[in-house]
Amino acid sequence: MTVSPRVVVLAGGVGGSRFVLGVRAALQARGVADTGAALTVVVNTGDDLWLSGVRLQPDVDSLTYALAGVNDAERGWGRRGDSERVNHELQEWGAGWPWFTLGDLDLGTHLARTGWLREGLTPTQVLERMSHRWDLGARLLPMTDAEVDTVVVLPDGTRMHFQEWWTRHRATLAPAAFENPGIQGAAPAPGVLEAIAGADAVLIAPSNPVVSIGPILAVPGMRDALRAALGPVVGVSPIIGGKVVRGMADVCLTAIGVDTSASAVAGLYGARGGAGLLDAWLIGEEDEAAADAVAGLGIRPLVRPLWMTDPDRQAALGEAALAAAEV
């Protein structure tokens, strides 16, 4: 009988989804029958927002749709085969944001979620309920039940929701800071600390370090839990060959004074042997020269293929991360 490891992944949306699909596939390949019991994903909720009266959870939904196999992989967000009739109508009313598309099927998700929130369910309970529709093969937990939406602060003091900065302005406005108002008073969602404490491995997905993993780590108690975890903490670099693979993580890293390189992101997370989080860090074959710098930080570097461009590569990366954690 296969002994099922307990694995926790910290993840954002699209990069996070690809990695979680890979970890799920790697567990399946190892003969784990119930990956839903073995795999817990702690999801960034910093991207969440209220729009046209409904609560959007972009990273939560990206993960749900990807695990369910109903995501639009080509476009990178939303549901495959979605239409935009309601969105068009909202725009005729001048409601919402003209540059932010809400698909019809996606709106069904947001309406269901908002209804349950209004009935008094917590975000954790709503996500648990939403996870029943499909066989996701993973347990999704929001990082927190508190509303701590990411705000971008510009050098002149202008503040805007992360989604406006990212989608409307395409991250072209140089940010001075990213904030999650209220996060100091937030707590990890129920089950998060227990999952980390009991995990055989904690994996940090190659998600945006600043606006996807950053908010998760900013929830009070999260860093201490990772540092105290019995299992190894293994991260995967979102930077390959000194470049972001997709998205605008370089702008985010620059804003907080971190180079767009595999070793600089390792330095941002830090070594668990020091004041940081990582035991091991997977870097791309293109970044082999950075291995010494990573080792110099007190983090074990592992050079592996990091591209997640198809299911086989995703599964191989998932397996490499599990192996790095020695599970």
Contacting residues toward Ca ion, per CB under 5 A: 12-13, 47, 59
Strand partners, 283: 303
> In angstroms, what is the minimal distance from the CB of 231 to ligand GDP?
21
Q: Which residue is nearest to ligand GDP (CB)?
A: 15
* Cβ distance to ligand GDP smaller for residue 71 or 208: 208
User: CB neighbours (10 Å) of residue 244?
Assistant: 17
Site pattern 288..327 for ligand GDP (x: CB under 6 A)? ------------------xxxx------------------
Instruction: Decide if residue 138 touches ligand GDP (CB under 6 A).
Output: no
d(CA 299, CA 280): 5
Partner from ligand GDP, Ca ion, none contacting 280, C-beta within 5 to 8 A by type: none
Q: With contact defined as beta carbons under 8 Å apart, do 90 and 96 qualify?
A: yes
DSSP for 203-236, please give it. EE-SS-TTTTHHHHHHSTTHHHHHHH-SS-EEEE
Structure tokens that stand for 123 in this block = 């975000």
Half-sphere exposure (Cβ direction) of 95: Cα atoms closer than 13 Å: 12
Check binding of 244 to ligand GDP (CB under 6 A): yes
Residue 244's binding partner out of ligand GDP, Ca ion, none, with CB under 5 to 8 Å set by partner kind: ligand GDP
Selected range binding ligand GDP among 14-22, 102-110, 172-180, 194-202, rule: CB under 6 A: 14-22
Phi first, then psi, for residue 269 (nearest 5°) are -75, -35
Residues binding ligand GDP (CB under 6 A)? 11-16, 18, 59, 62, 206-208, 212, 236-238, 240, 244-247, 249, 306-309
